[in-house]
Structure 1
Amino acid sequence: MANTELHKTYLFIDESGDPAFYASGNRSIVGTEGFKPLLIIGMIKLEDKKGIRNAIASFMD
């Protein structure tokens, strides 16, 4: 019989920048003053959420 051990997986997703390319009325804001042409999206997949939290807290101290 196969090992069917289940593991919880946690996903942390974060973004930096502005995902908006259009203003109200579908008006493109690309190239206008204040428009930031960068959008960064990152994801971390964790199984040991408590261990990672403790490591981050230790690093911050």
Structure 2
Amino acid sequence: MDIGFTLPEVGLIREKTVLQYIAPVSRSTLWNWRKQGKFPAPCKMGDNTNGYRAKDLREWLAGLEVSGA
């Protein structure tokens, strides 16, 4: 299934994109996961924009595949 998004090898992914394609949950769920250490911490991309390192997201996704979650 093609979802129209490919996670780049490097770079920052905006929070909006993460919520839409990688972790399709609410912002509050993502915030709770970060607080509990279940999701990578964001980086500031600007005054009102958070982003996530592609490397961190790849590691998180790989952990899900290993754990079967």
TM-score by length of 1: 0.31
Higher relative contact order (CA 8 A, sep 6+): 1
Structure with the greater alpha carbon radius of gyration:
1
Larger strand fraction of residues: 1
The answer to which structure has the higher helix fraction is 2
**Could you state the TM-score of these two structures normalised by the residue count of structure 2?**
0.29
